Amino acid sequence: MKKFLLATIALSLQATSLVAATSWDNPAVLCPEEILVRGLPCPDLTRVENVYSDFPDETTKEEILDWRNNKAADLKFCRNQEVLRREALKTGSFSPATLEQAWMIVDGGRKVQDKLAAIQAATLKYEIPPQVLIGAMKQESLMSSLGISPDGGNFSCGMSQLNIQEWCSGMNTLSNEEKAKYRWPSDINCDDDALPTNIVKSFYDLAIKNLGARASYQLTSEDFKGISSEQVEGSFPSANNNLQSKRYQAISSFVNNCQDIALSVNFKAKTLRGLYDHFVPSKLKENEIYSAGKSYQRACKNTYATKYYPLHTGWLMAVAMYNAGPMQSKLVGYYYQAKSSELPAMNPLDLIEALHWGGKYKVGTDNITFSDMDAAKSAGEWFKKDSTLTQSWFKSCIVQRHVARVIQHVTLPSESIAKSLDQEGCKQSGVPAYRQTSSGIKGK
């Protein structure tokens, strides 16, 4: 539900102007423990008029600056906790979208130590920069343990918003003993034939009936208790009894465990690592790496455990691929008119630019087209007939915005590193005039 939904929720930036980071080895980003809520006592917001901006009258200017610049995560938590309190006192005080976001922020501020421990473990295991991992999850769920949601047929779940196939891929890396612990089938494929992502729908439809007055995003494993194979197997794609049984077992395990923090973070990092290893161009992996003896300079609670810069462009490319598919590397290559092995050195702002401007508008459609530079016969020759690729402008618009907001989620509150480049918002139909006239190629 959140991959594209969160891209439509306004993200408040406290910086007054965009200032590009001048030193990517030490950008103005927070430590993991600073990004998440620290559990500080909240100011008394019950007496303020505007819960989103006001402070109690007795708050000094110095205290206000401290909250905004040094305690921003806790301030956001406190304000949204007050939103939920006021809604409980007077139903209808806030819109459903506002309440959903408030619930996510408040839930995201819980079990913080468990989340930090899981993030640290994943950073060590997969060498992913913690800021990229946290930013990706904040963009998906604001670090809340969301229940299963439709997400365009994906039926994503948990803090990392993983679907059944992504979860399956993670579970299949566990030992047989661990699989047995979570009642996961010992041998099931994770492809569309065995586990199409919409196969969870029958479970979801039954669980929704157990919600009562709660919103659907608040589904928990308890809402799936008691669902029998007879209730759901009839809606599965046709298969033999053995596969149907494994499907039921796998989905039951998924819905009961997908909100597990440690598994969710581990499998998210694993998924991003797979995209990084198999689809991110090698040229993006060669740069933005600390030399021997160097590391991120901010004094964080845990030692910075990866060789990559905090906002490594290749890892941000993996996040873009997670949300819009591996074809994003082809889009970037077309923008630079370079094969994947010949891409220039890039930084995160270059990536956002390429994702936004890459590809030429296809007249009469909602799409942009671009060529696979790696499919060219040779330099200067026409591309092969099958090298032309198509992507909706909406997807291009959303993915560049997604990357920008991943960065925004981990930037120091008093600074600004990246912004979305869309000029008229991201609409599912129609390509804005300013984008229609672009060549889709850098410098042209």
pLDDT at 151: 84
Same domain, residue pair 106 and 209: yes
pLDDT at 326: 96
Residue 193: give the domain boundaries. 29-39+62-263
pLDDT at 210: 85
Residue finishing a domain among 229, 263, 297 = 263
pLDDT along the chain (444 residues), means of 10: 42 39 86 96 97 97 96 98 97 96 98 97 97 97 95 92 97 96 95 96 94 91 95 96 97 97 98 98 96 92 93 98 96 96 96 98 96 72 65 97 98 95 94 95 93
CA angle, 31 then 36 then 39, to 5°: 120
Write the burial class of residue 343 (CB in 10 Å: 0-12 exposed, 13-18 middle, 19+ buried): buried
Distances from the Cα of 51 to the Cαs of 72, 125, 206, 379, in angstroms?
15, 41, 37, 59
Same domain, residue pair 184 and 288: no
pLDDT at 387: 74
Please name every residue paired with 383 in a beta bridge, in sequence order, or none if there are none.
376
pLDDT at 382: 47
pLDDT at 118: 98
Same domain, residue pair 147 and 238: yes
Question: How far, in Å, CA of 385 to CA of 167, rounded?
Answer: 37
Q: Considering its fold, how many domains does the chain have in total? A: 2
Distances from the Cα of 418 to the Cαs of 297, 318, 323, 372, 402, in angstroms?
20, 17, 18, 27, 11
pLDDT at 15: 34
Distances from the Cα of 76 to the Cαs of 36, 94, 107, 130, 410, in angstroms?
10, 16, 12, 21, 14
Task: Please check whether residue 236 lies inside any domain of the structure.
Answer: yes
pLDDT at 386: 53
Task: Please check whether residue 150 lies inside any domain of the structure.
Answer: yes
pLDDT at 20: 47
Same domain, residue pair 243 and 303: no
Structure pTM? 0.91
Eight-class DSSP state of 31: -
